[in-house]
Amino acid sequence: MREIIFDTETTGLESRADRIIEIGGIELINNFPTGRSLHLYINPGDRKIHPDALAVHGITEEFLKDKPAFALVAQEIIDFFDGAKWIAHNASFDMGFINAEFERIGLPPIAPELVVDTLSMARRKHPMGPNSLDALCRRYGIDNTHRTKHGALLDSELLAEVYIEMTGGRQAALGLVGAEQRSTTVEVEEEVISVPLGRPHPLPSRLTPANIEAHAAMVAGLKSQAIWLKYGSVS
């Protein structure tokens, strides 16, 4: 199964008016990173970057001046995501912007069934929260200390690690092992299993003759009420 973990940075919060200025994506196949990635900066045209958005991602209008418009990179994005699930944290936000950009250039929207929201997944798995990306990194022991600003590619890399943990963790790596190798592994494991066996010779009794004599006298005093009489000899 092919999946793309992705993130976007934008000029603001309104998908119908604001624009995507950065997109990053990490390819997973069978829940394992392949090493393929997508990272693009995009010129938003005459749309200004809101100061609140700038404080989050730190991407300036000056930096974006020589970057391509969305229409020029749309096919690269489509090709990279082709045949894959679109996976994002709070996916409704990112997909709102993706589909708005596609609409502007006459492309159809991405079908909802192709989209997976890791925030919804996290809320089901950890209903007491918190479930921000930073909080999930802490929960799963993922180092995010280098995340001082939001960035589409960095956030995609972190989210990919979180997603793998939420969907099975390191066990996902077993998906890369062929059936023959898995069978061999099981056989090796079965060969080294040790089964406890009985002692070849019983341990010598630690009872002294005096112990045995005292016990027999006690049983004789109890007569028929002595439970030891039900189990044979008392010596």
**Would you state the pLDDT for residue 18?**
98
The whole-number pLDDT of residue 174 equals 45
Q: Write down the domain spans for the chain.
A: 2-176
pLDDT of residue 167: 93
Q: Please tell me the number of Cα atoms within 13 Å of 108 on its side-chain side.
A: 3
Q: How far apart are CA 88 and CA 23, in angstroms?
A: 11
Nearest residue to 94 via CA among 31, 32, 25: 25
For 220-234, the pLDDT digits (tens) are 888 777 776 766 655
Residues 6+ apart with CB under 8 A from 215: 234, 235
Q: Can 89 be counted among the known catalytic residues?
A: no
The active-site residue, picked from 39, 150, 201, 215, is 150
Report H helices in the chain: 51-57, 61-64, 70-81, 91-104, 118-125, 133-139, 152-166, 179-192, 209-222
pLDDT at site 163: 97
The predicted pLDDT at position 176 comes to 42
Q: Mean pLDDT in runs of 10 for the chain (235 residues)?
A: 97 96 97 96 97 95 98 98 97 98 98 97 95 95 83 94 88 43 38 52 75 81 73 57
pLDDT at 219: 77
Give the CATH architecture of domain 2-176.
2-Layer Sandwich (3.30)
Task: Report the Cα–Cα distance between both ends of the chain, in Å, rounded.
Answer: 71
Place of tokens 């406890």: 196
